[in-house]
């Protein structure tokens, strides 16, 4: 993003990115509890944002780790004891809708693991380090992964423990399930559920949120 601070604190439509993410979770009637996994140096800002939103659901700040995998593990340890299922969402996907969160929350009650994803529209090329195309995968079998990703809490804890034992390094929790041989299903995601990574993404998010506010 090229920013000198956590991108979740950058403003979109007069609110920090993380505020839009929290508001979506607040509006999703299937969500009962929220945890923000982050580094403590951002907690003062997050506390201020949370207080300004008048949320009705509990929000807990959780110490992040040195890797995404370690951070999610910390989040699992902080879950309420009663939690049977969990949705893991990237805070930078602030355009997620309550509908998608609800659909994932409902679906995870009937399967061990899931990810929101959308079919790939572009032709994908597998390219070697020398820049030469190696192959062209069948696009009909390719999906672009999004978040939330949903899991049975007990199974996910087991998979994380196995990942630590085996020394696995994975980019998401679905990959842990795959390595453990546990089924992960797809829930249809949303084209607008973008991960804000570049300044151009911020401009797109401004437009989408402005359009939604006008429609309301």
pLDDT of residue 216: 79
Nearest to 3 by CA among 69, 140, 11: 11
Q: What pTM was estimated for this model as a whole?
A: 0.93
Do residues 206 and 12 make contact, with C-beta atoms less than 8 angstroms apart? Answer: yes
User: How far apart are alpha carbons 48 and 158 in whole angstroms?
Assistant: 35
Tens digit of pLDDT at every position of the chain (216 positions): 777 788 999 999 999 999 999 999 999 999 999 999 999 999 999 999 999 999 999 999 999 998 888 999 999 999 999 999 999 999 999 999 999 999 999 999 999 999 999 999 999 999 999 999 999 999 989 999 999 999 999 999 999 999 989 988 888 899 999 999 999 999 999 999 999 999 999 999 999 999 998 887
Q: What is residue 44's three-state secondary structure?
A: helix
- Spatial CA neighbour of 32 closest among 57, 66, 2: 57
pLDDT (0 to 100) of residue 48: 97
Distance CA 86, CA 105 (A): 8
* Residue ranges of E strands in the chain: 11-12, 15-16, 34-38, 59-63, 85-88, 113-119, 126-127, 133-135, 143-152, 185-188
Peptide bond into 148 cis (omega under 30): yes
In the prediction, which pLDDT does 61 show?
Answer: 98
- Residue 40 C-alpha from the chain's centroid: 20
Token readout for 138 is 């069948």
The whole-number pLDDT of residue 149 equals 97
Which CATH superfamily includes the segment(s) 9-114+150-215?
A: Spore Coat Polysaccharide Biosynthesis Protein SpsA; Chain A (3.90.550.10)
What's the confidence (pLDDT) of residue 20? 97
């Amino acid at each position: 993003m090229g920013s000198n601070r956590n991108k979740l604190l950058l403003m979109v439509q007069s609110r920090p990115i993380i505020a839009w993410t929290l508001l979506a979770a607040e509006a999703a009637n299937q969500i009962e509890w929220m945890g923000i996994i982050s580094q403590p140096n951002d907690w003062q800002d997050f506390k201020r944002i949370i207080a300004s939103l008048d949320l009705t659901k509990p929000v807990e700040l959780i110490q992040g780790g040195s890797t995404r995998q370690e951070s999610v593990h910390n989040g699992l340890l902080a879950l309420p004891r009663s939690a049977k299922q969990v949705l893991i969402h990237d805070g930078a996907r602030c355009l997620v809708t309550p509908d998608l969160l609800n659909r994932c929350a409902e679906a995870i009650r009937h399967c061990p693991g899931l990810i929101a994803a959308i079919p790939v529209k572009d032709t994908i090329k597998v390219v070697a380090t020398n820049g030469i195309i190696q192959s062209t995968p069948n696009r009909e079998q390719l999906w672009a992964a999004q978040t939330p990703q949903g899991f049975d809490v007990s199974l996910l804890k087991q998979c994380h423990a196995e990942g630590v034992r085996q020394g696995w390094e994975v980019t998401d929790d679905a990959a842990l399930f795959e390595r453990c041989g546990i089924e992960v299903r797809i829930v249809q995601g949303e084209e607008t559920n973008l991960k804000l990574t570049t300044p151009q993404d911020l401009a797109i998010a401004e437009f989408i949120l402005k359009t939604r506010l006008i429609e309301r």
